[in-house]
Amino acid sequence: MSKTALLFAGQGAQTVGMGRDLASAFPEARALFERADVTLGYGLSGICFEGPEAELTRTENAQPGIYLVGWVALQLLKQRVPGLAFEATAGLSLGEFTALAAAGSLEFEDGLKLVRLRGRFMQEACDTTQGGMAAVIGLDEAATREVCIATGVTLANLNCPGQIVISGPADRIPAAVEAAKAKGAKKAIPLTVGGAYHSPLMAVAQSRLAAELATVSLRDTQVPVIANVTARPHGPSSSIAGLLVEQVTSSVHWEASMRYLIAQGFTRFIELGPGNALAGFMKRIDKSVQMLAVSDVASLEATVMALTAAI
C-alpha cells in the first residue's frame, strides 16, 4: 500500500498569477481567496492574481500568498478525490505552517495571520540588518560547513544533494562564495534576497513570532508533520510553537526530512501550491518515488487522474 505525504513550498515559489485560474474555475476556491482577504483586511488575492511583482515579492505578502494558494490547492484536491488519504505532511520554511494546518494542528485563518506577521517580522529584521544569501552547487554538507565556519556565515537550507544555501552578513557573502569555489563547488551564486533568512540575523523576529504563537491554539497533529529544524515529526502540541520559533534562525533540513519519510515507506509525494521547486529537489534526492503536484487547473486535473486511477 502506497503511503502519501503532502508537501508545501516556501518563500521564493511565489509568481504573479498564482491561484488565479483556480479561483476562476472553482467557486469554492474563489470563496477561499475572498475569505483570506477578509481575514487579513486587505486584498491579498489581488496581489497574488495581478501583482505587481514587487508587491508580491514583499515577504509580508509572499508568505501568506504561498500559504493561501497551497491551502486552496489542497481543498480542491480533497473535493475532487473524496477518498484521498495522506499519512504525513511537510513544508519548506513557511510551508511548515501550511503543513500543520493540513494536519489539523492549526486553523486556516490562524495560520494565514501568523505567516503574514512572520513575513512582516522577518522583513523588518532584514531592514535592520545587512544580510545576504548564496546558493552553493556541487559541494557536500561537510565542506560547506567548513566554508561557513571559515567565513562567518551559516547553513540556511540543505535542500538536496549538491544544493545548499548559505546565509549571513552581506559583507561576508562574497568571501564565502569564493571559499566555496576554492573548495570545489561547481557554482556559488549570490542570491537576490531581502536579507539573511535562517541565520542569527533573523533573531529579532523570533520573540515577536513567539508572542503571536502564544495567542493561537495549536492541537496535536492528526498525521505526522515533519519539522524543518529536526527532520523528524513534531511531538505534542505543546512543543510545536518552540520549533516554529527556532526555525526562523535555524537551518532547514529538507533533504533529511524527505529521506526520513522515504525510509518510513512513503512512495508518493504531492506538492501543493505555486512552483515546482520541491519536485526538483526530490529528483535529486530519490527519483524512484512518485511526485505529483497541484498548482493550477491543469496540474490539478493530472493529479486527480493519477490518484483516481490508484484508488
* pLDDT at residue number 2: 82
Contact by Cβ (8 Å): 260, 226: yes
Q: Distance between CA atoms of 238 and 218, rounded to whole angstroms? A: 8
The DSSP 8-state label assigned to residue 201 in this structure reads: G
* pLDDT at residue number 194: 85
- Catalytic (active site) residue 239: no
Q: 303 lies in a domain?
A: yes
* pLDDT at residue number 136: 97
Q: Are 116 and 148 in the same domain?
A: no
Assess whether pLDDT exceeds 90 at residue 24: yes
Assess whether pLDDT exceeds 70 at residue 182: yes
Cell numbers at 291, concatenated: 511526485
Q: Are 224 and 266 in the same domain?
A: yes
In the predicted model, what is the mean pLDDT of residues 153-168? 97
In the predicted model, what is the mean pLDDT of residues 193-213? 95
* pLDDT at residue number 192: 85
Q: Are 96 and 115 in the same domain?
A: yes
Q: Are 86 and 174 in the same domain?
A: no
- Comparing 38-52, 94-108, 297-311, the range with the smallest average pLDDT is 297-311
Distances (CA, A) of 306 to 51, 80, 151, 195, 270: 32, 12, 47, 40, 11
The CATH number of the domain where 156 resides is what? Answer: 3.30.70.250
* pLDDT at residue number 302: 97
* pLDDT at residue number 83: 85
Q: How confident is the model at residue 301 (pLDDT cuts 50, 70, 90)?
A: very high
Sheet holding 187-190, edge to edge: 154-160, 163-169, 131-137, 187-190
Q: 70 lies in a domain?
A: yes
Strands 88-91, 3-8: pairing kind? parallel
In the predicted model, what is the mean pLDDT of residues 116-134? 95
Question: Which of 45, 105, 198, 251 is flagged as catalytic?
Answer: 198
Q: 195 lies in a domain?
A: no
Assess whether pLDDT exceeds 80 at residue 146: yes
Q: 220 lies in a domain?
A: yes
Q: What is the pLDDT of residues 28-80, one digit of tens each?
A: 999 999 999 999 999 999 999 999 999 999 999 999 999 999 999 999 999 99
Name the residue type at position 11: Q
Q: How confident is the model at residue 6 (pLDDT cuts 50, 70, 90)?
A: very high
Q: Are 249 and 266 in the same domain?
A: yes
Q: Are 215 and 74 in the same domain?
A: yes
> With pLDDT > 70 as the criterion, what percentage of the chain qualifies?
99
Q: 264 lies in a domain?
A: yes
Q: End of a domain among 190, 220, 237? A: 190
The CATH number of the domain where 49 resides is what? Answer: 3.40.366.10
Contact by Cβ (8 Å): 157, 254: yes
Total count of domains within the chain: 2
Q: 291 lies in a domain?
A: yes
Cell numbers at 258, concatenated: 524527505
Q: Are 185 and 304 in the same domain?
A: no
Q: End of a domain among 167, 190, 213? A: 190
Q: Are 153 and 49 in the same domain?
A: no
Cell numbers at 289, concatenated: 518515488
Q: End of a domain among 140, 160, 190? A: 190
* pLDDT at residue number 235: 97
In the predicted model, what is the mean pLDDT of residues 301-311? 90
Assess whether pLDDT exceeds 80 at residue 1: no
pTM of the prediction?
0.96
Q: How confident is the model at residue 311 (pLDDT cuts 50, 70, 90)?
A: low
Q: Are 29 and 58 in the same domain?
A: yes
Assess whether pLDDT exceeds 70 at residue 7: yes
The DSSP 8-state label assigned to residue 170 in this structure reads: G
Assess whether pLDDT exceeds 70 at residue 228: yes
194: phi then psi, degrees, rounded to nearest 5: -80, -20
Q: Are 64 and 137 in the same domain?
A: no
Assess whether pLDDT exceeds 80 at residue 88: yes
Task: Determine the structural domain holding residue 176 and report its residue range.
Answer: 130-190
192 vs 158, residue with greater confidence: 158
- Catalytic (active site) residue 198: yes
Question: Which of 93, 199, 250, 257 is flagged as catalytic?
Answer: 93
Q: 179 lies in a domain?
A: yes
45: phi then psi, degrees, rounded to nearest 5: -60, -40
Name the residue type at position 144: T
Q: Are 235 and 274 in the same domain?
A: yes
Q: 247 lies in a domain?
A: yes
Q: Are 150 and 251 in the same domain?
A: no
